[in-house]
Amino acid sequence: MSVHLSKKDAFHKRLLAEYLRLLRTYPIITKSLTSGAISSVSNIVAQKLSGGWKAPIAWRNIGAFAATGIFYTGPITHYFYRWLEALVPGKDKVSQILKLIVDRLFIAPPFLLGYLYCIRRFEGKSHQTAVEFLKQAYWTVLKLNWKVWTIVQYVNINYVPLQYRVLFASSVAFIWSLYIAVLSGT
C-alpha cells in the first residue's frame, strides 16, 4: 500500500528539507533569521493581545524584536550551545546538571540583561531609558526566567541535538517574547 502525500504535505516536506539544508550550510545566519522571525511574530501577537485586533501595529517594536533575535539571540545562542558542549562534554547526570548550572547561573543573567537592553535600544530608546527599564524590570524578569527556562534549558541542553537547540529555544521563546513585550509595553 503506497502513501501519497498531498500537495500541502509535499510542500511542507520540501520546506523542511530546505530549512535543514540551510541550517547545515549557513548555521548562524539561519538560526539568527529564525530567531528574529519567531521573535517578531511573537511581538505582533503580543501587540494584538494587548491592544486589540483593530489596533495599529507598532512596526518599530516588531523591528526591535526581530533585530534582537537576528543580531543578539541567534548568534549568541549558536555559539553558547557549542561552547557549553566543549566546556562540559558528556551525557551523564553530573554533566547534565553542570551544563544546567552553567547556563542558569553564569549565562542567563548577563544574557537576559543584554537581551532586554538590546530590545529597548532597537526600539529607539535612549541608553538612560534602557537602563531605567532594566532597573525596574530585570530582577522580576530574571526570577521568572529561572522558573520558566530552567526546565526548558534542561531539556534543550541535554536532549535536543546541538544543531536544533537554537530553534527549540526560539520556539519556546515565542511565549517568552509575548511576556517580555507585554511587560515592556511594546
Question: For 78-128, how does the pLDDT look when each residue is reduced to its tens digit (9 = 90+)?
Answer: 999 999 999 999 999 999 999 999 999 999 999 999 999 999 999 999 999
CB 27 within 8 A of CB 78: yes
Dihedral, CA atoms, 118, 123, 125, 129, nearest 10 degrees? -60
> Is 80 exceeded by the pLDDT of residue 185?
no
10 — pLDDT class (breaks 50, 70, 90) = confident
Residues 55-84 have pLDDT tens digits of: 899 999 999 999 999 999 999 999 999 999
Please list, in sequence order, all residues whose beta carbon lies within 8 angstroms of the beta carbon of residue 130, skipping any fewer than 6 positions away.
116, 117, 120, 121
pTM for the complete prediction? Answer: 0.88
pLDDT of residue 137: 93
